[in-house]
Amino acid sequence: MPPSKFSASLKFGPFTVTGQVFHVSATQSSFALVNLKPLLPGHVLVSPVRRVPRLSQLSPQETSDLFLTVQRVARTIERVYKASALNVAIQDGVDAGQSVPHVHVHIIPRTKDDLKNQGGVDKIYDLMDSEEGNVGRDFLRAQQARQAWEKHREFASGPDSERKSRSEEEMRKEAEWLQAEMEKDDYDAEVTAMSGFDSTYILPRDTSATYEQKTQLLTIAWIVGILSVTIIISFFVWYFTQRFRKSARRPGDIERTYQNGIGMAHR
């Protein structure tokens, strides 16, 4: 569901991240947010709404919802970033590299040779454990920068005092874009459920298609299917009718056969 339908403000650890959230699960138990400093383009996080540091502290329902949300978000992330693979990882506890005391799952889209010049495919794990992957530090610095800016605004005047920082604006735009892409995928899933067919064969994966365009494509697909079935049935009816006519005897043939039979009997 869109974050706008979620009434409460969302927190990631001690940080308010409502503006970075692009998806909230239907049960409102999990949410997805864009990253302050992604290790690769499209690197996002998925967390439970309830703030606990360890995976084992989640209820069975929360755990199920968390990973269903990971699966749902990962599908859209892989599509929009044209990834061929994903890293899905949890740093479960401080000694595992967790920098924010709130369970979160990293989803990182991957492409072939994306880290070739930095050490290869497994370099991503070094990056996650390094300062570059220190999510908590990045959030803390951003919070401190916002606080400093708010303090400055008390003395600032003019149009510039209302201006948002570039990093916040970039994250907001990314979150809005991903939210729209998630909604497109949700529409495709609804079409699949209604049609009973795999949407891969019904709708093109052109994400720029509008609702009306997709509806028209679906209607055309049904019409083509019905016409195809009608043509096939008509052909078989015609074929078997011709066969039947060729095999049926005319009345004159039947009469001649009868007379020949009588003549042979008199002999």
CATH number at residue 13: 3.30.428.10
Distance between CA atoms of residues 217 and 13, nearest Å: 45
Q: Could you tell me if residue 184 is inside a domain?
A: no
Asked, for residue 199, whether it belongs to a domain, the answer is: no
- Asked if the structure places residue 181 within a domain, the reply is no
* pTM as predicted: 0.60
Residue 215 lies in a domain: no
Give 42-98 pLDDT, tens digit per residue. Answer: 999 999 999 999 999 999 999 999 999 999 999 999 999 999 999 999 999 999 989
Are residues 123 and 243 located together in one domain of the fold? no
156 in a structural domain: no
Q: Indicate whether 10 and 109 sit together in one domain.
A: yes
pLDDT (tens digit per residue) in 158-198? 333 333 333 688 889 999 999 999 998 886 666 555 555 54
Q: Are residues 135 and 233 in the same domain?
A: no
* Dist CA 36 CA 119 (whole Å): 23
**Is residue 234 included in any domain, yes or no?**
yes
Indicate whether 19 pLDDT > 80: yes
Q: Which of 134, 149, 164 is the last residue of a domain?
A: 149
Spell out a b/e string for 183-218, using b for 16 or more CB atoms within 10 Å of the CB, else e: ebbbbbeebbeeeeeebeebbeeeeebeeeebeebb
The residue annotated as part of the active site, out of 23, 102, 104, 106, is 104
| Residues 137 and 230 reside in one and the same domain | no
pLDDT tier for residue 251 given thresholds of 50, 70 and 90: low
On whether both 144 and 245 belong to a single domain, the answer is no
Same domain, 139 and 45: yes
37 and 144 inside one domain: yes
Contact 207, 181 (CB under 8 A): yes
Asked whether residue 132 falls in the same domain as residue 19, the answer is yes
In this structure, of 136-145, 164-173, 231-240, 243-252, the range with the lowest mean pLDDT score is 136-145
130 lies in the same domain as 253 = no
Q: 243 and 133 in one domain?
A: no
Question: What total number of domains does the chain contain?
Answer: 2
In a domain, 19, yes or no: yes
Residue 4: its pLDDT value, please? 63
102 classed as catalytic: no
Buried b (16+ CB within 10 A) or exposed e, 101-137: ebbbbbbbbbeeebbeeeeeeebbeebbeeeebbbbe
Same domain, 10 and 134: yes
Judge whether 124 lies within some domain.
Answer: yes
Range of the domain at 141: 3-149
Residue finishing a domain among 149, 164, 188: 149
pLDDT score at 261: 53
Domain boundary residue, one of 118, 149, 180: 149
